[in-house]
Amino acid sequence: MMRWVKRFVRITAITLNVAAAVMLWLSYASPFVNPADFWLLAIFGVIYPLLIALNLLFLVLWIIRWKWYAIISGVTLIMGLPLLLNFFRFKPPSPPYTGKRDFTMMSLNVNLFRLYAWSKQPPTMDSIEAMVHRLRVDILCLQEFYTDHDHFTEEDARILFGEGAHIHYIYPPFNGGIGIATFSRYPIVGGGEIHFEGSANASIFTDVLIGSDTIRVYNNHLQSYRLKRRNLEFIQNSDYRKKANPIHELLDLFTQIRGAVEKRAVQVLQVRAHIDRSPYPVIVCGDFNDSPISFTYKKMRGDLQDAFQEAGDGFGSTYKDIFPSFRIDYALHSASLVALDYTVVPSNYSDHKPILIPFNIRHDE
């Protein structure tokens, strides 16, 4: 009887290990497949960190027990190492960069400055303004920017950002006073908008003159999952799951996810096509609302450098309100720019954390 139980446990463990490995392989494939063609694959990219943890658990289990089954997860993890570098970077501990830089930029989803009526926390505009001044930010890209002004003026920009400030912003006409805004201490010499059909999200591009160089800054807020409270309760609250109908809840959750990943795929292709036509070096930043193991990230990055991979450390997690927390805010850039450092600024001013990057402009000798 005991032998049968041990055999059953072993077969079950091997089966679960194979399933975890297969799902991890599917997550590896997710950046290469447009969610419009197969949206379910995108889910495996979202749960990539959980799949990594699960396979590491099986690997350690089999190594401890001296079983050859360790090869199942071992080979799977090794084959995915290049993708892991999108997710995690190790850098020896060092103080923040304080040397020469041509400019410093920050990107942050400000969560409407918590000015919405249902916020349980005080408004954050003053705190964000103080942070921007303290960190000497030159170019500031904000998503979910909010004002109750009918028109946000250069004078308003100077109040928020200091003398000499310039602003380029957009409020989608059906989205009230909510939009995205790019502030600059340097002159803004051009720009425009990229509207996403059937979405409150949008992107703007802003041409900033820094000395004799013009840099085009893309400030993006791509389609979010817009999960309902019940979806979050189902994900995070075990008591809610005990009472809920799991089939009904999963179907509702997958409906939300499908709509978001399909819209985001269209949006990223739209923005990427615009980037490819840019006459200037670019910085592409903002809230992509997707993981580093995704079609969104792969397409948006293309031939650009990832400032996090260049100068960041750890996981670079920027979104705080759901587990597992990971990087959904990005700063990509042309090869003619050099990211000197990359900091996820500790703060409680939003459900996102700001990313701060000092840049140098590389000139051909």
Q: Look at the alpha carbons of 171, 344, 278, 209 in this order and tell me if their dihedral is positive or negative.
A: positive
Cβ atoms of 205 and 191 within 8 Å: the answer is yes
Residue 59 is assigned to a structural domain of this protein: yes
**Alpha helices per DSSP H over 135-202:** 154-161
- Please give the Cα distance from 231 to 246 (Å, whole number): 11
Cβ atoms of 54 and 20 within 8 Å: the answer is yes
Stretch 213-217: mean pLDDT:
97
pLDDT for the residue numbered 114: 75
Least confident of 54-63, 139-148, 336-345: 139-148
Residue 223 is assigned to a structural domain of this protein: yes
220: β partners: 203, 286
Domain ends where: 58, 87, 116? 87
Stretch 84-88: mean pLDDT:
83
Using only C-alpha atoms, the chain has a radius of gyration, in whole angstroms, of 22
Q: Which helix (H) or strand (E) holds 169?
A: strand 166-170
Cβ atoms of 184 and 158 within 8 Å: the answer is no
Least confident of 48-52, 71-75, 117-121, 205-209: 117-121
Give yes or no: residues 80 and 107 share one domain: no
In the chain, what is the straight-line distance between the N-terminal and C-terminal CA atoms, in Å? 78
pLDDT tier, 91 (very low <50, low <70, confident <90, very high otherwise):
confident
Give yes or no: residues 218 and 340 share one domain: yes
Please write the tens of the pLDDT for every residue from 292-328.
999 999 999 999 999 999 999 888 888 876 655 679 9
- Please give the Cα distance from 308 to 292 (Å, whole number): 11
Per-residue pLDDT at 349 exceeds 90: no
Give yes or no: residues 120 and 200 share one domain: yes
Nearest Cα neighbor of 300 from 329, 260, 257, 342 is: 329
Q: Which helix (H) or strand (E) holds 191?
A: strand 188-195
Q: Please name the amino acid found at residue 218.
A: Y
- Please give the Cα distance from 157 to 184 (Å, whole number): 9
Per-residue pLDDT at 245 exceeds 60: yes
Give yes or no: residues 196 and 298 share one domain: yes
For residue 120, the domain's CATH number is 3.60.10.10
Least confident of 125-129, 135-139, 162-166, 354-358: 162-166
Please write the tens of the pLDDT for every residue from 183-214.
888 988 999 999 898 888 889 999 999 999 99
pLDDT for the residue numbered 268: 97
The phi and psi torsions of 195 (rounded to 5 degrees) equal -85, 145
pLDDT tier, 174 (very low <50, low <70, confident <90, very high otherwise):
very low
Q: What is the mean pLDDT of the chain?
A: 85
Per-residue pLDDT at 218 exceeds 90: yes
pLDDT for the residue numbered 255: 81
Domain ends where: 59, 87, 115? 87
Give yes or no: residues 262 and 330 share one domain: yes
pLDDT tier, 92 (very low <50, low <70, confident <90, very high otherwise):
confident
- Please give the Cα distance from 290 to 330 (Å, whole number): 10
- Please give the Cα distance from 343 to 329 (Å, whole number): 12
Give yes or no: residues 80 and 163 share one domain: no
Give yes or no: residues 72 and 161 share one domain: no
The phi and psi torsions of 351 (rounded to 5 degrees) equal -80, -5
Stretch 54-63: mean pLDDT:
91
Q: Residue 52 contacts by C-beta under 8 Å, 6 or more apart in sequence? A: 24, 77, 80, 84
Give yes or no: residues 195 and 339 share one domain: yes
pLDDT for the residue numbered 276: 97
Residue 97 is assigned to a structural domain of this protein: no
Per-residue pLDDT at 119 exceeds 80: no
Per-residue pLDDT at 16 exceeds 80: yes
Q: Give the length of the chain.
A: 365
Domain with 239 in it? 103-361
pLDDT tier, 97 (very low <50, low <70, confident <90, very high otherwise):
confident
Give yes or no: residues 83 and 128 share one domain: no
Per-residue pLDDT at 340 exceeds 90: yes
Give yes or no: residues 71 and 189 share one domain: no
Q: Under DSSP, is residue 327 helix (H, G, I), strand (E, B) or coil?
A: coil
Give yes or no: residues 80 and 125 share one domain: no
- Please give the Cα distance from 187 to 90 (Å, whole number): 36
pLDDT for the residue numbered 305: 97
The count of domains in the chain is 2
